[in-house]
Structure 1
Amino acid sequence: MKMQARYMQNFLKYRYLLIQLVMKDFKIKYKRSFLGIVWSLLNPLFSMIILTLVFSTLFKSNIPNFPVYFLCGSVLFNYFSESTSLALSSIYSNSSLIKKVYFPKYMFPLSKNLFSLVNLLVSFIAVLLVMVVTGARFYSSALLFFIPVIYLFIFTAGISLILSCAAVFFRDLAHLYSVCIMALNFLTPIFYPIDILPVTVRTIVEINPLTQAIEMLRQLILLNELPTLEQNLSLFLFASITFIIGVFIFYKKQDRFILYI
C-alpha cells in the first residue's frame, strides 16, 4: 500500500509534465496544418466513404447501416494502432531529455495514449455525423460508448508500456510491429461481419480484445443492447491483466534504459 501511495504521489507531482507532453504531440502533429485536429474527424470519414463504396455491395445483406458499422470498428482500431505505434518509440526518441532530467519514464508512452485518446473522442463526432446522414436510429444505450473505450484504453496502455520498453533493447521492433498491425487489421472485424469467417479463424478473432471492444461499441450504438456481465468481465480482466504485465515489465527494465538509449 505504501508503494502504491508513493507511485500515486509521484504521478500527481508530474501530472503537469504529462499535460505538456500531450500538448507537444498536438503541436508537432498539426504544425502548419490548416485544419489541425479536424483531421481526426475527416480521416475516418474519408476511410468510411472509400470502404463503403468498395464493400457495401459485398456485405449489404449481412451488415445493416454499413457506414456506422465500419466507423465503430475503424475509430477504435485506429486509436489502438496510433497510440501503440507512437508509444513504441517514445522512450528512445526522447533519450536526450531522459539523460538530462529525472521524471517518471512511463510518462512518455502514457502521453501517447492520452494524445490518441483525444483524437478518438474527436473521431466520435464523425460517427455521430454519419448516423445523422444515414438516418440511423439513436438509442439511449449509445451514451455508454465510453465503457468499451475505457477498457480499450487500459489494454492499450499495457501494450504501450511493453512495446516502449522492448523497443529500447530491440530497435527492429518498430519495423516488425508495422507488419503486426497490418495483420491485426485483417484479424479484427472492422469492415466485414465476423460470421463469414471459418470456425477456427473466428475463434481466434473473437478472443482478440479489440474485437470484443468493437463488438461492445456496436451493441451500444447500433443494436440498443447493453453488454452482458460476461462481456464486461472478459474485457475488463483481459485489459487489467495486460496493464499489470506492462507495468511490471516496465518497472523491472526502466533502470537499464539509460544504457541503451
Structure 2
Amino acid sequence: MSTYIQNFLKFQPLLVELVARDIKIKYRRSVLGVLWTLLNPLFMMIILSVVFSNLFKFDVENFPLYLLSGQVIFNFFSDATTSSMNSIIGSAGLIKKIYVPKYLFVLSRVLSSIINVLASFSALILVMLALRVELHWPILLVWFPMITLMIFSLGVGLFLAAATVKFRDIQHLYSVFITALTYLTPVIYPMSILPGWLYKIVQLNPITNYLQMFRGFMLNNTMPSLSELILAIVEAVTMLVIGLYVFYKNQDEFILNI
C-alpha cells in the first residue's frame, strides 16, 4: 500500500497538469470560458421549468430548485463518466512515450468534472438566495452525497475506460444508456407520480439515492436514514472495487489497442 501512495505522490504534479489540461481543452476558444458551467444549468433550468411546470403541471414546491438540484447531481455523473470513458484513448500519445500510472488519466477527468460541478452548485446557491429560500444547517452535509457519488463515478469511469480501449462501440452505446438513465432518474419529475412498478425500478438506480440525499440536505432540511447512508457508501465502494479490478486486469494490454 505504501508503494502505491508513494507512486501517487510522485506523479501528483502530473495529475494537476492533466486536470488543468482537461479544463483548458473543454473551454478552448470559448469567450465566456468556465462561466458557461454556471450559465448552462441556469438556462436549462429556465427552459425546463417553463415547459414542465406549466405544460405537465408537476406539483413540486420550488420546481426550479428541484430541477436545478437534479441537474447538478446527474450532470456531474454524466460528465465524469463520459469523459473518463475516452481518457485512455485520448492520452495514447503520452502513454506510448513514457511510463505514467494510467489511472491518473481517468482520475483527472473525474476531478475536472468536480471543478465544473462546483460552478453548477454555485448557480444553485445563487438561485436559492434569489428566491429567498431559507438555508438550513443540513446544507453543510452536502459533501457526503457529492463525495460518495464522486467515488461511484470514478469506479464507473475506470470500468468504462478499460472497456472502451477494447470495444470502441461502447462510446456510442453509453450515450444511449445515459439518455435512458436521464428518464430513470428523478431529475425532472417527482417520484410520487410514478406507478408502483416504475417506482421500484427508479429506486434501484444508484443515482436516485445520491440525488434524493442531496435534495434532502439542500432543499428539504431532512436527514437521510441510516440505511440510505450505508447504501450510498456500499454502492460507491463496490463500484470503485469493480472498476479498479477491471482496469488493473486490462491496463497492461492498453498499449496494444490504443
Residue in structure 2 matched with residue 210 of structure 1 by the alignment: 207
Shift of residue 62, structure 1, vs aligned partner: 2.4
CA distance in 2, matches of 1:163, 1:190: 23
Residue in structure 2 matched with residue 241 of structure 1 by the alignment: 238
Residue in structure 1 matched with residue 143 of structure 2 by the alignment: 146
CA distance in 2, matches of 1:59, 1:16: 50
Question: Which amino acid is the alignment partner of residue 161 of structure 1?
Answer: L
Residue in structure 1 matched with residue 29 of structure 2 by the alignment: 32
Residue in structure 1 matched with residue 45 of structure 2 by the alignment: 48
CA distance in 2, matches of 1:175, 1:31: 24
Residue in structure 2 matched with residue 134 of structure 1 by the alignment: 131
TM-score (norm. length: structure 1)? 0.96
Question: Which amino acid is the alignment partner of residue 19 of structure 1?
Answer: V
Identify the match of residue 162 of structure 1 among 159, 162, 172. 159
Residue 174 of structure 2 is aligned to residue 177 of structure 1: yes
Residue 65 of structure 2 is aligned to residue 65 of structure 1: no
Aligned pairs (5 A) from 1:116-127: 116-127=113-124
Q: Is the 8 A contact 1:60 1:66 kept in 2?
A: no
CA distance in 2, matches of 1:192, 1:132: 23
Shift of residue 175, structure 1, vs aligned partner: 0.5
TM-score (norm. length: structure 2)? 0.97
Distance 1:59 1:143, change over 3 A: farther
- 1:205-228 CA distance string (max 9 Å, x none): 112111111100111111111222
Q: Is the 8 A contact 1:205 1:211 kept in 2?
A: yes
Identity %: 48
> What is the aligned-residue RMSD (CA, Å)?
1.1
Shift of residue 249, structure 1, vs aligned partner: 0.8
Q: Secondary structure at the match of 2:78?
A: helix
Question: Which amino acid is the alignment partner of residue 120 of structure 2?
Answer: S
Q: Is the 8 A contact 1:59 1:192 kept in 2?
A: no
Residue 109 of structure 2 is aligned to residue 112 of structure 1: yes
Shift of residue 30, structure 1, vs aligned partner: 1.4
CA distance in 2, matches of 1:185, 1:5: 40
Q: Secondary structure at the match of 2:159?
A: helix
Identify the match of residue 71 of structure 2 among 48, 65, 74. 74
Question: Which amino acid is the alignment partner of residue 229 of structure 2?
Answer: N
Residue 97 of structure 2 is aligned to residue 100 of structure 1: yes
CA distance in 1, matches of 2:84, 2:155: 11
Residue in structure 1 matched with residue 194 of structure 2 by the alignment: 197
Q: Is the 8 A contact 1:65 1:136 kept in 2?
A: no
Q: Secondary structure at the match of 1:36?
A: coil
- 1:10-35 CA distance string (max 9 Å, x none): 11111111110000011111122221
Shift of residue 57, structure 1, vs aligned partner: 2.5
CA distance in 1, matches of 2:110, 2:47: 27
Unaligned runs of 5+ in 2: none
Aligned residues: 258
